[in-house]
Structure 1
Amino acid sequence: MKKEIKMSTEFYCEEFPTEQNGRQVQTLKDLLEACPEDCFHFMTPFGYVDLNAQDAEQLRQGAAMPAHAGESGWEIPIPADKLLQQELVTARKAKNGQWYAITTDPQQELEESEQVREIHL
């Protein structure tokens, strides 16, 4: 007997708009400020960062937050300024109310483009 595996496309129910209250939402900081009561799961270049509403507020106030590579017990603290400047690649809100987002580091992209420019010179 052959089992069929079905992927659910209903997991994500709401994609975050690129504009909120007339303001662009481009960074992790923008998302946290627009949704202060929500929970978040971010996939960043530093690792996964999970925040409840209280953690998100502490991050906005400048507290470092732990990032992990997918296994608890191996967290490393990431400074708030590094996390808050992360640019959103995608952000979606699940039916359970938690946001799932993928971010990228704007500094890293800038450094890579400078390296490419130096190679071409």
Structure 2
Amino acid sequence: MYEEIPRVELTPAAADMVRRLSASHGPLMFHQSGGCCDGSAPMCYPEGEFKTGGSDVLLAELAVDGVDDRVGFWMSKSQFEVWSHTRLIVDVVDGRGSGFSLEAPEGVRFLIRSRVIGG
């Protein structure tokens, strides 16, 4: 039986952080631009605080146990073209990342681990 591989997933540690941030900030979203501010690190914002547009792709709407709303994971189209052959795994590690992302005051940062899919 064929089972579709999710394009984006959260590690258990990242899901725990999403639960904590959601409890404090309400519905959340991720955006990964591949530009400045930690390069390819995904940024976590209150849902709708980062304005997406025609240059962005919604890769996933992540369901997290204990969080009422799905968490959208957006990526710029240009970054997606480079990473289109991978499954993105959102993790959280010690260390401060960008001050723009909600987890920064917690002393941790989200980061992407990836696995090649297909072929």
Q: TM (normalized to structure 1)?
A: 0.28
Q: Structure 2-normalised TM-score?
A: 0.28
Q: Higher helix fraction: Structure 1 or Structure 2?
A: 1
